[in-house]
Amino acid sequence: MAAVVTAGSFEIAVDEPKSAGGADTGPQPTDIFLASIASCFTLAMAYAARKSRIDLPGLSVETIGTYRGQAFSQIDVLVHSDAPADVVAKLIPVAERVCYVTNTLRGELTLRIAPAADKPDRP
């Protein structure tokens, strides 16, 4: 149940928990998915703050996925900072505009799955 995924020059060990038949040697794929959202939005918030010359001490982003069967029905993205809530709230729309991952999830995404030999042409 384990896999090693290459992302650029990095390798990420991915596994399922023991309760799902894995060996629990790495995060499960859904954890990587939620971490991708959290990390991208964290960087987007940092960008928005720097652009606005605002300090965001203690910045972190938490993602919580709610399962419905084999998919998430909802994902909550919670932005934490020691800065006042109104300052954080002001920066969220800016971060939303530049976060590739959340923009992808909100947009019209075509997901194609095929054998590599049948790789479709990219537009």
For 16, the token pair is 């399922």
pTM higher than 0.85: yes
Residue 4 makes CB contacts below 8 A (sequence gap 6+) with 11, 12, 13, 14
Q: Pick the closest to residue 12 from 32, 30, 40 (CA basis).
A: 32
Confidence label for 117 from pLDDT (cuts 50, 70 and 90): confident
| Helical H segments across the chain, by residue range | 29-51, 85-98, 100-106
pLDDT of residue 106: 95
pLDDT in tens, 3-54: 999 999 999 999 999 999 999 999 999 999 999 999 999 999 999 999 999 9
CA pair distance 60, 45, nearest whole angstrom: 9
pLDDT at 17: 94
